[in-house]
Structure 1
Amino acid sequence: MPKAEFTGPAVIVDPYSSGALFAAAFAEQGVAVVAVVSGPRPPQAYASSYRPQDYPEIIVFDGDLDAVVGRVRELAPRCVIAGCESGVDLAERLAPLVLPDRSNVPELASARRDKSAMAAATAAVGLPIIPQICTADPDEVQAWLDREGLTGRDLVIKPPRSASTDGVVKLPGGVGWREVFARQIGRTNQFGETDDLLVVQKFVTGTEYVVDTFSHDGEHTIVDVCRYRKVDNGPHMAVYDTMQWVAPNDEALPEITDYTRGVLDAVGMRFGAAHVEVMATPDGPLLIELGARPHGGGQPRFNRNATGDSQIDRTVSYLTGKEISAGYELRRHQTCVFHIARRSGVVRNTAVLDEITALTSHHFSVQNLVDGSHVPMTRDLVDSLDFGFAILSHREAEQVQRDHDTIRKLEEQLVIETPHVPVAEH
């Protein structure tokens, strides 16, 4: 598409998390970025990434969609896209009204945000999905378990509209699912939304992949593929251990990426970045969930180091009239190692983690604890990012693995003390 067709600023809805990276990337190409924010303050999980100084104009949505649409139309932007998960709903409402030729299928908007709706849309085109039900009624869950033969099987309960494994609970053998369901229903999630419905799924096993994409005119390009390793941490399931970048010639990828493209078609994705999580099972790939926005946690910065590209870069390249690739190359072996706290308590000896920066494959690291601070047992990705992580990158995969093992040994030297609570005397 000729460069002349792309004019005006870029509009980013909730430019938080990785969405905050758009401002600098567009600025390098001489393009201004206008922020539309879905509320007066970012969700707490994203607050630290918000840089209001990067935007010449910030439009606050206060419930009046017509007012926002009117102002965004006046800007004649080249795109209206979500920066992170909290901006997806508003971006999906705005884009078709402002740039219908550069937006997703409006009738399928819920399938790009709600986990139950995206599974239903995927199943509707004949692709396999994880057996599940979404309801507020525990009796409906019991009837479904009986009907599907899942009584006594491992289950997962999770909110349909949260992210970062927030509120995800694994139930071995399904034991106690009613109690967990009762505790989780009506809970306020990390976006400040009420979980008035819950998804109950069969627990499936396999290898989890994330496929990061950029779509234009309904064509889905692959920006990167990463393989997750998750571990149980006490009662908490799916705690992130590592995320490893996968070479494009890996034998598992053709089936994974073909399935991903089918899912993106099914949910009406036609323009913008998407983050698709897929479980490779013995019976084939199954959708875990997708986000109609870039991979969060600043991943595009690290992806650029591994591949020379990212969802941010590819989006900006396309919207400034440059040629973009349909695939990617892996230039360096790279792994993100997430710190894990094995229990809650007051932490000591945090200086031991300073040794991470001296590792041969060290590319980037952050750890947010100091001696005397309280660390919770790691439950989800938010906890992992609050604690910290390290990016290991090297031309030799063996070096990355050795340094990963060293990080886990350093973590074992942390002292996490459970505060003593004195028993009152009577």
Structure 2
Amino acid sequence: MTVTTGNPPGDFVQVGATRDGLDPYLDCARRRGMRAVLVETPAYLRWRRLLGRREFDVEVAVARPQDPDAVRAALAAAAVAPGLVLTGFERYVYAGFALARALRVAPWPGAGDGFRPLDKREQREALLRGAPQVAQPRFVPLGPGDGDAADRLGFPHVIKPADGGGGLGVPLVDGVAQRRRALDRVRALVNYGGGAFSGIVAEEFVKGPELSLQGVAHEGNAVLLSVCEKLTCLEEVRGESDLSGFREVGHVARPGDGAPPALRELAQACLDATGYRAGPFHVDVIQGPAGPVFVEMGFRLSGGGLVALVEKATGADWAELAFRTHLGDAAPVRPPFPDGGRTGGESV
């Protein structure tokens, strides 16, 4: 793929390395002649070198990439002139958007003039206010000593950090004693990169097939690229023989053109309720008896090899479409798939 542009708008800054090693934004930046800058912790930069990952043009070590002020200072010291700031790791998505807004560079203001990514509790509250038609599990925010407030959810239910990533600290509990141990365990955890979670939420457990939607928001409109069936399993929480947590073990992807109207409407409702107007997104849902049930949303590309899977299943370069949206190159368009969209892909 060749992209021809005029003068590059500035440096491309990626806050956080991808954990799957694909680095799709690096390719997008180089097609445009943009200097590619990676911000990461010193330890993870060393780990990337040991793994033989591709090098960015500039690599900036920051002890706490989740701190936008620290990232901004480090970029200035390295003589980096950002023109586009995106995140490669879920933990740093909040800092990435805050940094772009402070520097007044893309994805600001296209993603939304006052947009900030919402954590899992805030997403549920935003949908209750702005899209009450969207089904979602009943939930209870839990503060210190609030465990019993979740009794009204019944059992089983799920305990999860409001801003944890990658399934960090998400046990399934089936009784008061289990919930107490689960809460003690989650409260003892720290988020990726250190620091406390923004909160803890108890959610009703909804049983059903799990799906994940991958797309790009453009001028507030959802362009749905693919729908994945998520393959998950329950596994014992280490050190807690009677507590189980969730693990994603694979995905089966199909083109979004064939998605049922209910899933398309849910994706659009999520954008409307959260105020997210431009950029990549993914939405996790459970297919309940009465239709899709919202689980959570991410304002970034998915990890776990999903970028490659989306391209395999649909022909769409998800990262490239995100770049085009943010830089105003063109509206994202799903490419026609050679066999009419009958092919799926698997990633395990």
Same fold (TM over 0.5): yes
Asked if structure 1 preserves the Cα contact closer than 8 Å seen for 2:140 and 2:203, the reply is yes
Change (3 A) 1:94 1:241: closer
State the distance in 2 between where 1:134 and 1:204 align: 17
Contact kept? 1:207, 1:280, Cα under 8 Å: yes
SS in 1 for 2:188: coil
Aligned residue number for residue 98 of structure 1: 103
Q: Deviations over 1:327-359 (max 9, x none)?
A: 77436321223xxxxxxxxxxxxxxxxxxxxxx
Q: 1:162 to 1:66 in 2, by over 3 A?
A: closer
| CA deviation string 1:218-270 (max 9, x = no partner) | 232222211113233355343334311124354x5321121122112222212
Aligned match of 2:69 in 65, 68, 77?
Answer: 65
Structure 2 partner of 1:315: 322
- Residue 26 of structure 1 is matched in structure 2 by 29
Q: Give the counterpart of 1:142 among 148, 153, 169.
A: 148
Q: Distance in 1 between matches of 2:49 and 2:128?
A: 36
How far is the alpha carbon of 1:278 from its aligned partner? 1.4
Matching residue within 283, 294, 299 for 1:292:
299
SS in 2 for 1:24: helix
Give the Cα separation in 1 of the matches to 2:208 and 2:225: 23
Q: How far apart are residue 71 of structure 1 and its match? A: 3.4
CA 1:283–1:32: 2 relative to 1, 3 Å: same
Q: Which amino acid aligns with 1:158?
A: K
The whole-number CA distance in structure 1 between the counterparts of 2:76 and 2:256 is: 42
Aligned 8 A contact 1:16 1:50 in 2: no
Kept in 2: contact 1:248–1:328 (CA 8 A): no
The 5 A counterparts of 1:14-413 are 14-17=16-19, 20-37=23-40, 39-42=41-44, 51=53, 53-56=55-58, 58=60, 60=62, 65=69, 68=72, 71=76, 77-99=82-104, 102-103=107-108, 104-105=111-112, 107-111=114-118, 114-127=119-132, 128=134, 129-138=136-145, 140-145=146-151, 149-151=152-154, 153-173=155-175, 176-195=178-197, 197-233=199-235, 235-250=243-258, 253-318=260-325, 319=327, 321-322=329-330, 324-325=332-333, 329=337, 330=341, 332-337=343-348
**Identical-pair percentage:** 21
| Structure 1 residue ranges without an equivalent (≥5) | 338-426
Question: Cα distance, 1:133 vs. partner?
Answer: 1.5
With normalisation by structure 1, the TM-score equals 0.66
- 1:53 counterpart SS class: coil
Residue-pair matches, total:
327
Partner of 2:201, secondary structure, is: strand
- The alignment partner of 2:121 has SS state of helix
CA RMSD in angstroms comes to: 3.5
Matched to 1:303, the amino acid is V
C-alpha deviation, 1:82, in angstroms: 1.4
Q: Which moved more, 1:183-192 or 1:254-263?
A: 183-192
* Partner in structure 1 of residue 239 of structure 2: none
For residues 322 and 49 of structure 1, what CA distance do their matches in structure 2 show? 35
The answer to whether the 8 A contact 1:4-1:321 is kept is no
- CA apart distance, 1:4: 5.2
Shift of 1:154: 0.9
- For residue 85 of structure 1, report the CA deviation from its aligned partner: 0.6
CA contact (8 A) 1:154 1:171 kept: yes
SS at match of 1:204: coil
TM-score scaled by length of structure 2 = 0.79
Q: Extract unaligned runs of 5+ from structure 2.
A: 237-242
1:141 & 1:124 partners in 2: Cα distance?
25
Q: Distance in 1 between matches of 2:97 and 2:52?
A: 21
Return the alpha-carbon distance in structure 2 between the equivalents of residues 303 and 71 of structure 1: 35
The secondary structure found in structure 1 opposite 2:256 is coil
- 1:297 positional shift: 1.9
CA radius of gyration, larger in: 1
Contact 1:136–1:196, Cα closer than 8 Å, also in 2? no
